[in-house]
Amino acid sequence: MEPWTGDPSSPDKETAGSPPVALSSYTEWDPLREVVVGSLAGGVFPSWQESMTHTLPEAAWRICREEGGQPFPAAHLKAAEGELDTLAGILESEGVTVVRPDIVSHRRPFRTPHWTSDGGLYAGMPRDLLMVVGDTVIEAPMSWRCRYHEGDAFRTLLKSWFRRGARWMPAPRPQLLDELYRTPGDAASPDAERWAVTEFEPVFDAADFLRFGEDVIVQRSHVTNEFGIDWVRRALGPEFTVSVVETNDPHAMHIDATFAPLAPGKLLVNPERYIPHPLFEGWEILPAPAPALPPDWPMYFCSPWVSMNVLSLDPETVVVERQEQPLIDALTAWGFRCVPVDFRHVYSFGGSFHCVTLDTVRDGGPGKYLAS
């Protein structure tokens, strides 16, 4: 479970438990064989930028404005990191190979010729930065300036996957100039009043995409623009179809608390955000029960609907937060085996089981699961 710290050129890197195959992951539900579990160690509050007002809970604006680059509360962070370690152990007990990012400093300020940041963020949510489609890993050009160097924590893993035979595809590194961000009263495009990012350059978070074999779905959001979606579409080529789906989410940032495909033909959805789409014709749709999180629980980055951000281990098995009993009951009645894990402290930092993992090897091939 620990980050590998040896010689990155060593041919023996993959002999200690990792599959000897290149990356291979086409869906969100096929049997899981290898996964990255993130780390919140050394995490800091994000350096503030106004585009964050569109996605962060309003109660968190002040602390992010005032504490950018400063460490998260130590006790809460320690508890969250303990939950991540527990998750890694449970996944290993389920027969999954677990790898972890390198531990890097997120407190160091940095700058480009155009802007400065008081620090980074964390390496806790690999799903935000990286997307595995088939045998390719894509590095996302994220729009939050504080996340500009987040890939450093995953560089050892990226190099090892490449040496194993994977295709490594970084998106164009963004400039993140002021022109990328919407300003009040900007009416340059029909979407100008809806989204925090313009079409200045391609940006996206990988967590705005979900994989359904030959099909990939994506939502337009406050961190993912059409330019970025078009880049992914062309990068993947004709082997995959990338389709945009609409959601009823004014704070849209990451699709995996709106849709959760758990098995072929079974889709868990957020009842407040889901808009029926012809792609899911013939699928069973289960509206997720309301989150069980107490209303006073600290949430810095997202809403309590992260409760439905589950991780499929195979088409019959789902990792779920232990205290989300209504969701566990609903999934059990739907025919799934639920693996309960305490994860509320991780919730506070912007994600749950799907966010904090990156499935790099799953059984199965591309397949066709969505309607044409």
90: three-class secondary structure by DSSP? helix
Whether 191 is a known active-site residue: answer no
The catalytic residue among 30, 222, 355, 359 is 355
| Maximal CA-CA distance, the chain | 57
Q: How far is CA 62 from the centre of its chain?
A: 25
Cα distances (Å, whole numbers) of residue 14 to 99, 157, 160: 11, 11, 8
Encoded amino acid at 311, one letter: L
Alpha carbon distance, N-terminus to C-terminus of the chain: 40
Number of CB atoms found within 10 A of residue 4's CB? 17
Bridge partners of 24, per DSSP, are: 361
The catalytic residue among 54, 106, 222, 254 is 254
Bridge partners of 216, per DSSP, are: 211, 242
324: three-class secondary structure by DSSP? coil
Q: How far is CA 32 from the centre of its chain?
A: 17
Whether 146 is a known active-site residue: answer no
Bridge partners of 285, per DSSP, are: 267
User: Token digits for 115?
Assistant: 């802007």
Q: Which residue has the tokens 């590998």?
A: 4
- The answer to whether 39 touches 72, Cβ cutoff 8 Å, is no
Phi, psi of 81 (to 5 degrees): -65, -35
Compute the Cα dihedral for 302, 306, 309, 310 and give only its sign.
Answer: positive
The catalytic residue among 118, 128, 205, 314 is 205
Whether 114 is a known active-site residue: answer no
Q: Return the half-sphere exposure (C-beta side, CA atoms, 13 A cut-off) of residue 68.
A: 21
Any idea which residues carry the catalytic annotation? 205, 254, 355
